[in-house]
Amino acid sequence: MRLRTIGIFGMVCALAVSSTVAADADWPSYNRTLSSDRYSALADINRSNVTTLKVTCTFDTGIQTSFQSGIIDVAGVLYGTTEMDTFAIDPGTCVQKWRVHESYKSASPLKVNRGVAYLDGRLFRGTQDGRVLAYEAMTGKRLWEAQIADPKRGETVPAAPIAWNGLVFVGNAGGDNKGVKGRMYALDAASGKTVWKFDMARRIRARTGL
């Protein structure tokens, strides 16, 4: 399956062959694995049949902007984001299962979000007003929110988090604005409480001696 988006999310392509969804077929974060290898062992699509790929369905986000979300696939459901929306669709039909909209004042002129991470039935994403949000993957129900950045200073959280071992790892953006330092956080996946954080610039200075 391949995803391509220009103005719309979708163009879900698949071979006309039967396949089953297994755990090793999941793509639960933007780089798939913690080692970021972006490798899939699935072999249905190969050099001999790639030319038979065809569009089976499309899904339009209804939003005219740059689409930068890294799509994830867990247990046969695709999850994606726009700046303020999080949605789940059926990859075979492009039928929307649920969609959640967050309304807020963005701290960034870039109206984008780069995706969610999945762990233990939950989805995690950042927002352009400095929060990290958790949703129930089956329904889209909001579970918690955590404020980790100050939008008044131009700090945002557009990056897709990494979720592992009960923690959600994510950092803030805004380092191109005066006085904003990059910070890395580990949040409790169940509650959103900060487990630890550190200042990225301070760590770099300590290691380089600058």
Instruction: Check which CATH number belongs to the domain holding 172 and give it.
Output: 2.40.128.630
Domain interval for residue 168 = 9-208
Q: Residue 35: is it exposed, middle or buried by C-beta count within 10 angstroms (0-12/13-18/19+)?
A: exposed
Residue 2: inside a domain:
no
Residue 20 has a pLDDT of 36
Question: Which residue from 162, 202, 205, 204 is spatially nearest to 185, judged by alpha carbons?
Answer: 162
Q: Which residue has the higher pLDDT, 68 or 78?
A: 78
**pLDDT confidence tier of residue 19, bands split at 50, 70 and 90:** very low
Instruction: Look at residue 13 and tell me whether its pLDDT is greater than 80.
Output: no
Highest mean pLDDT among 4-8, 112-116, 177-181, 189-193: 189-193
Q: Which two tokens stand for residue 176?
A: 């191109």
Residue 192: inside a domain:
yes
pLDDT in tens, 83-120: 999 999 999 999 999 999 999 888 777 888 999 999 99
Total domains, the chain: 1
Evaluated on CA atoms 91, 96, 100, 103, the torsion sign reads: positive
% of the chain surpassing 90 pLDDT: 58
Residue 1: inside a domain:
no
**pLDDT confidence tier of residue 210, bands split at 50, 70 and 90:** low
Residue 4: inside a domain:
no
When pLDDT is averaged across residues 14-18 and rounded to a whole number, the result is 36
Residue 82: inside a domain:
yes
pLDDT in tens, 135-179: 999 999 999 999 999 998 889 999 999 999 999 999 998 877 667
pTM (predicted TM-score): 0.82
Residue 124: inside a domain:
yes
Residue 50: inside a domain:
yes
Residues near 168 by Cβ (< 8 Å), separated by ≥ 6?
117, 119, 124, 132, 134, 161, 162, 185, 186, 187, 188, 189, 192
